[in-house]
Structure 1
Amino acid sequence: MPKAVRLFVRYVEAVNRIVGRITMLLIFAMMGVLLYSSIMKTVAIPPLWTLEMAQFLMVGYFLLGGPYSMQLGEHVRMDLLYGAWSDRTKTQVDVITILFLIFYLALLLWGGLSSSGYALQYGERSYSAWRPYMAPIKIIMCIGIFMMLLQAIAMFIKDIAKLRGEEL
């Protein structure tokens, strides 16, 4: 593989590793918000913002941590047939299926960018009683989708190299 391709894979995986490790901490923020909500429900009036904030934190946790999970090979996979295949067959199937993932993520990113642009342009707000602006979470979603797209491309490159007998 050319040096530029190797650098691309190395940098994408390094960024996703750093962001994924930091994103792991969002679970504690989400737990804190939900604990605060539970305590306030028993002691006083429940705050309006806690459930929706926990949902936003979960979206960030899921979408920003997804590329790191994919990099580690810890994502969900149907092992019904896949587990019995040889490494070469697994890699060949991965090369084909990751093309579908790349196409899906590109469409998802295109729609997310369109939706984020709308949210920024018109000051879109949630329909809940709290009414937070939607642009920040939509931008985070687009960043996560973009990072997942880059990781999928890096995985595709690594699988192609593996089929050619190279390791990246």
Structure 2
Amino acid sequence: MPHAIRLYVRTMDRASRAIGRATMLLIFAMMAVLFWSAISKNTPGLLPSLWTLEVAQFLMVTYFLIGGSYALMHESHVRMDLLYGMWSRRTKTWVDVVTILFLIFYLGVLLYGGLSSTAYALEYGERSYSAWRPYMAPIKIIMCLGIGLTLLQAFAELFKDIARLRGEEIGLPTESAS
């Protein structure tokens, strides 16, 4: 594989690993928000917070979408394994090449829609319909960043699969997704 592709794959793997590990910490922020929600609703004298459910949802969306590239890099996404586990490594790689192309198309369409929705939110100051009414642009920007990172990692995975079909291994050494 050309040096530029090897460099791209290693760079994306490093970025996905660093961003994914940092994103894992958001689960603690979400737990803190939900803990506060439970405390504020069940403690006499404290008014229940309107913002907690929506902030927890925004944190979960961030956790899920920004962590997508990390999950893709570690092959820890959901996979139907009815036949896949019985196939040879070469057959699996060919199937991965085809399915990653579908994923790239899907993520491209998703990113296009996300950018359009983000532009709308920024232009018109879109707000949530909840009682708290937060602006939607920040979460939509995060959504687009997560989809974009996953799209870039999908290209890296495609390059890894093509290299594997050629008998090469590129990218960072794999480690457990813990």
Q: TM-score, normalised by structure 1?
A: 0.99
Give yes or no for the alignment of 1:29 onto 2:33: no
Partner of 1:167: 169
SS of 2:19's equivalent in the other structure is helix
Partner of 2:2: 2
User: What amino acid sits opposite 2:32 in the alignment?
Assistant: G
Q: Distance in 2 between matches of 1:28 and 1:84?
A: 38
- Residue 160 of structure 1, CA deviation: 0.3
* Structure 2 unmatched runs, 5+: 171-178
Higher helix share: 1
Q: Distance in 1 between matches of 2:116 and 2:10?
A: 30
**Percent of pairs with identical residues:** 69
Q: Distance in 1 between matches of 2:107 and 2:78?
A: 17
List per-residue Cα deviations over 1:15-73 (Å, max 9, x = no partner): 11110000000000000000000011101321100000000000000001111011111
User: What amino acid sits opposite 1:117 in the alignment?
Assistant: A
Which of 66, 69, 72 matches 1:70?
A: 72
Partner of 1:122: 124
Partner of 1:14: 14
CA RMSD of aligned residues (A): 0.6
Q: Distance in 1 between matches of 2:74 and 2:99?
A: 18
Superposition misfits of 4+ residues, deviation over 6 angstroms: none
SS of 2:82's equivalent in the other structure is helix
SS of 2:86's equivalent in the other structure is coil
User: What amino acid sits opposite 2:140 in the alignment?
Assistant: K
* Structure 1 unmatched runs, 5+: none
Partner of 1:45: 47
SS of 1:80's equivalent in the other structure is coil
User: What amino acid sits opposite 1:57 in the alignment?
Assistant: L
Which deviates more from structure 2 when the two are superposed, residues 67-76 or residues 132-141?
67-76
User: What amino acid sits opposite 1:4 in the alignment?
Assistant: A
User: What amino acid sits opposite 1:75 in the alignment?
Assistant: H
Q: Distance in 1 between matches of 2:154 and 2:71?
A: 11
Q: Distance in 2 between matches of 1:13 and 1:137?
A: 24
Partner of 1:83: 85
Which of 140, 143, 148 matches 1:146?
A: 148
Q: Distance in 2 between matches of 1:91 and 1:128?
A: 46
